[in-house]
Amino acid sequence: MPAPTSIRLPARSSAAVEDYLERILELINTKGYARVVDIAQSLKISQASVTNMVQRLDAEGLLKYEKYRGLALTTAGEALARNITRRHQLLTDFLKLLGLDDDVIYHDVEGMEHHISPPTVRAIEALTEQLQRHPALLVKVRKDIDEN
Amino acid sequence: MPAPTSIRLPARSSAAVEDYLERILELINTKGYARVVDIAQSLKISQASVTNMVQRLDAEGLLKYEKYRGLALTTAGEALARNITRRHQLLTDFLKLLGLDDDVIYHDVEGMEHHISPPTVRAIEALTEQLQRHPALLVKVRKDIDEN
DNA sequence: TCAAAAAGTTAGCCATGGCTAAATTAGTTG
DNA sequence: CAACTAATTTAGCCATGGCTAACTTTTTGA
Ligand SMILES: [Mn+2]
Ligand SMILES: [Mn+2]
Ligand SMILES: [Mn+2]
Ligand SMILES: [Mn+2]
């Protein structure tokens, strides 16, 4: 039996962790890499704060980080990143159907995305699909909104 | 011109502040008052933490608190409480239409309610109303969910 | 090649919002 | 009305996640 070394608990990821992972994946997908300075600029957070979080994510096994060099998401980190990205995209698509402004959508999605559990994700997915198939109802919704 | 005494800034209310105000209003509406011990039990938070927050809310002008005695929401505090209550109720009604379990709904609403801005509130209100008027689409949504 | 600039890190600070333990006040009851 | 109990407050602690300033490492370009 191996020695009972320090066990790393699952560590339920916070909104901040999800925002970092989501942005890191996006940077990697668009420019091929995610440096501390890129993450900082993109999230409008100081480089020092990013360094701190990146080291924490490394310690939690969500990415591998080499000091002064670069970082790469681990399988676990990428899974989390894809998951939060899916929630972000879904909520954006959904609110877009309702005719809301992009700024409002972005602001609200950025907050809400951290609070929808898997069943709710599936339900909103199903609703979004049905609404896309039946635009008549959306026309009425938008009219109601305007009359307000 | 009056002396430039300590100005109390608007203090953009946090999720925690909203949760406290919402629960305080609910307690007042159901049992007529909201003592520290009631709030603590209801929010599953220690009495010491509640005392702390109640004093902060008093300092921010959201309620009037008399040490060791009782508290009452101010006009500003009650306005905020009613506002968050409305968002809570709306999201609950909306997710209920999608056929989600009450536990899931409560959990997700408790988080999401702090992140929907006024335009989004109005849009989801309009959508909820239209969905209630046209249940056919909801039937399909629920079927889609089950098939997953 | 080597100095300046850019990037990254560290140290130390802060606010928020939790907690427990101990002290204090208020309420109840024999 | 005194003592017990319940309620409340205070003190001191902690984690999270921001910040700035100062320092270090890496990259770049004359
Ligand atoms: Mn976010
Ligand atoms: Mn996002
Ligand atoms: Mn809440
Ligand atoms: Mn609520």
pLDDT in tens, chain A (148 residues): 444 444 455 567 999 999 999 999 999 999 999 999 999 999 999 999 999 999 999 999 999 999 999 999 999 999 999 999 999 999 999 999 999 999 999 999 999 999 999 999 999 999 999 999 999 999 999 999 988 7
Q: How far is CA A57 from its chain centroid?
A: 15
The nucleotide minimizing the C1' distance to residue A41's CA is C7
What confidence score (pLDDT) does residue A148 get?
76
Residues A111-122, buried b or exposed e (16+ Cβ, 10 A)? bbbbbbbebbbb
**Per-residue CA distances from A62 to A22, A44, A58 (Å):** 12, 22, 6
What confidence score (pLDDT) does residue B1 get?
47
Do B9-79 and B88-147 agree at the fold level? no
For strand B63-65 and strand A71-73, is the pairing parallel, antiparallel, or unpaired?
unpaired
Nucleotides of D under 7 A from a protein CB: 6-12, 16-22, 25-27
Q: How far is the CA of B37 from the C1' of C28 (A)?
A: 18
**Closest A-chain CA to B138:** A127
Q: Does the CA dihedral B78-B83-B86-B88 come out positive or negative?
A: negative
Give the right CATH number for B9-79 from 1.10.10.10, 3.30.43.10, 2.70.210.12, 1.20.990.10.
1.10.10.10
Confidence grade of residue B10 (pLDDT, cut at 50, 70, 90)? low
Q: Global pTM?
A: 0.91
- E-only strand ranges, chain B: 63-65, 71-73
Confidence grade of residue B73 (pLDDT, cut at 50, 70, 90)? very high
* CATH code assigned to B88-147: 1.10.60.10
Yes or no, beta carbons of B112 and A112 under 8 Å apart: yes
Planar angle of CA A14, A16, A19, nearest 5 degrees: 110
Distance B23 CA to ligand 3 centre (A): 9
What confidence score (pLDDT) does residue B16 get?
98
Q: How far is CA B59 from its chain centroid?
A: 20
**Which of residues 70-89 of A have CB within 7 Å of strand D?**
none
* Secondary structure class of A91 (helix, strand, coil): helix
What confidence score (pLDDT) does residue A110 get?
98
What confidence score (pLDDT) does residue A92 get?
98
Domain boundaries, chain A: 9-79, 88-147
Choose among B111, B116, B141: nearest Cβ to A114. Answer: B111
